[in-house]
Amino acid sequence: MPRPAIRVAVDRRLYRLRNLVERCFNKLKNARRVATRYDKSTTVAGLLNVLSDERRFPSARIVVLDLHGEYGKALGDRANIFKISPDARNANEHRLCIPFWALSFDELMRVTFGSLPPDGKARNIILEQILEAKIASLTAQPIAGVDSASITADSPVPFSLNKLWHDLYCREFGTYLSAGGANPSDQATWAYECDPLGAKIVGDAHAAVPPRFRKVKNVAADPEKINWLPDVLNIRGPLEALGARLRVARYDFLLKAGDWHPELDGTTTKTLADLVGQWLGSDKPITILDLSGIPSTVTNDIIGNILRVLYDGLFWARNLSEGGRERPLLVVMEEAHSYLGDNGSSAGCLLPRQNGRQRPLLNNAACIRQ
């Protein structure tokens, strides 16, 4: 026997508005890609397409830090793309060059030598040699407005990392003929091995080929004595690792940065001002720095360096038409949470915390204005 229908009181006025609730849920479902960060790259690319419209924003200037190489295809028609392996068929793709000498001293140590002995001796010696090399580089190739008396190991002045590595390698691995009270500082006494033709294997600093030294020999019956060069720094492991990085192509964007790579005397074809001009003085509104090919172990330090170069370039040019005061820069930082930490420990935290002049504009973006 069928049960009688249960009558329920209904507010007809509210019932007529039920479609508003249904439409609200439908909109939320359509926007779930953004809410859950799914397909956020497409959303950001759409926003950048609007912001880089020269008809609406003729002075637009945007730099995108692209960790996964996602934005080149979407924005290629209005962007210059800098990547580790550019496609020569695409006129808007260029080689990414980030010269190591633009890093701060601490960043450079992390990227090149890694962990050093805790006593601090090796660190201090390397710091002194880098400073001496930068001063010598200024003598060989002066930079307008830069005084050698005012620079530090953090100053973005070119110097030859290859020569520094070679000199330290000789100091750490070298032996010398010590018979008769020979002076170990005289390179004529150094005990190099010889090749089959009898030539000394002195290595090649430019190609990061290490020298080879004879083994220590101190036999009483043998008049030839060979001993270690004095005052070693106990950094054989870091030197071997740096030599490998100097020789492999994976780090060429940093350690062999094209026209910004120093010769052994520290001179370069192009300057840091040329690099800033390449990134910010483009004829297109967007510059994409494709960081997808950078080793993950150095990503934080590289991003910190990029942000500092951008900030300093805008700051020192603040009174010019291309400076940050007249023409702000929008920096879009993909996956910013991975390098813009709250504790200030990551190198990428440098820019957003400096002088309090950066204002967050969108998620993963910052507007730089002096």
Look up the domain containing 308 and give its range: 40-97+270-368
Q: Which pLDDT value is given to residue 341?
A: 59
Q: Report the alpha-carbon distance of residue 323 to residue 272 in Å, rounded.
A: 16
Q: Within this chain, do residues 115 and 152 fall inside the same structural domain, yes or no?
A: yes
Q: Is residue 110 in a domain?
A: yes
| Boundary of a domain, candidates 198, 221, 250 | 250
Those residues whose C-beta lies under 8 Å from the C-beta of residue 282, and which sit 6 or more positions away, are: 80
Residue type, 180: G
The count of other CB atoms within 10 Å of the CB of residue 347 is: 24
Q: Within this chain, do residues 141 and 79 fall inside the same structural domain, yes or no?
A: no
Q: Within this chain, do residues 71 and 188 fall inside the same structural domain, yes or no?
A: no
CATH code for position 47: 3.40.50.300
- 296-336 pLDDT, tens digit per residue, is 889 988 998 898 888 888 888 777 777 777 788 889 888 77
Q: Is residue 26 in a domain?
A: no
Q: Within this chain, do residues 291 and 184 fall inside the same structural domain, yes or no?
A: no
| Boundary of a domain, candidates 219, 250, 281 | 250
Q: Within this chain, do residues 81 and 180 fall inside the same structural domain, yes or no?
A: no
Does the reported pTM lie above 0.85?
no
Those residues whose C-beta lies under 8 Å from the C-beta of residue 25, and which sit 6 or more positions away, are: none
Q: Is residue 119 in a domain?
A: yes
Helix axes 161-173, 121-140, angle to 10 degrees: 140
- 256-292 pLDDT, tens digit per residue, is 999 999 999 999 999 998 999 899 888 899 999 999 9
Task: For residue 276, give both structure tokens.
Answer: 């800033």
Q: How far is CA 319 from CA 6, 224, 271, 324, in A?
A: 78, 68, 21, 8
Q: Within this chain, do residues 293 and 359 fall inside the same structural domain, yes or no?
A: yes
More confident residue, 260 or 76: 260
Q: How many domains does the chain have?
A: 2
Q: Is residue 17 in a domain?
A: no
Q: Within this chain, do residues 221 and 287 fall inside the same structural domain, yes or no?
A: no
Q: Report the alpha-carbon distance of residue 320 to residue 5 in Å, rounded.
A: 80
Q: Within this chain, do residues 279 and 302 fall inside the same structural domain, yes or no?
A: yes
Q: Is residue 32 in a domain?
A: no
